[in-house]
Amino acid sequence: MTDIDETAHRVRAGDGPDTGLDAHLVVDRGGFRLDVPLTAAPGEVVALLGPNGAGKTTALRALAGLVPLTGGRLRLDGAELERTPPEKRPVGVVFQDYLLFPHLSALDNVAFGPRCQGATRAEARAQAAEWLARMGLADHAGAKPRRLSGGQAQRVAVARALATRPRLLLLDEPLAALDARTRLEVRAQLRRHLAEFEAVAVLVTHDPLDAMVLADRLVVVEHGRVVQEGTPPEIARRPRTDYIAQLVGLNLYRGRAGGHLVRLESGTALTTTEKLTGPAFVAFPPGAVTLHRERPADTSARNLWRCEVAGLETHGDRIRADLTGELALAADLTTVAAAELGLEPGAGVWAAVKAAQTHAYPA
For residue range 209-223, list pLDDT tens digits in order.
888 889 999 999 999
To the question of pTM greater than 0.95 for the whole model, the response is no
Query: Which domains, ranges and CATH numbers included, belong to the chain?
Result: 3-244 (3.40.50.300), 249-362 (2.40.50.100)
Q: How far apart are CA 33 and CA 29, in angstroms?
A: 6
Size of the chain, expressed as the number of residues it contains: 363
- Write down the mean pLDDT value for the chain: 89
Q: What's the burial of 322, exposed, middle or buried (CB within 10 Å: 0-12/13-18/19+)?
A: middle
3-state helix, strand, coil split of the chain in percent (to 5) is: 35, 35, 30
The mean pLDDT of 64-80, rounded to a whole number, is 94
Tell me the per-residue pLDDT of 257-294, one tens digit each, with 9 for 90 and over: 999 999 999 999 999 999 999 999 999 999 999 999 99
Task: Map residue 289 onto helix, strand or coil.
Answer: coil
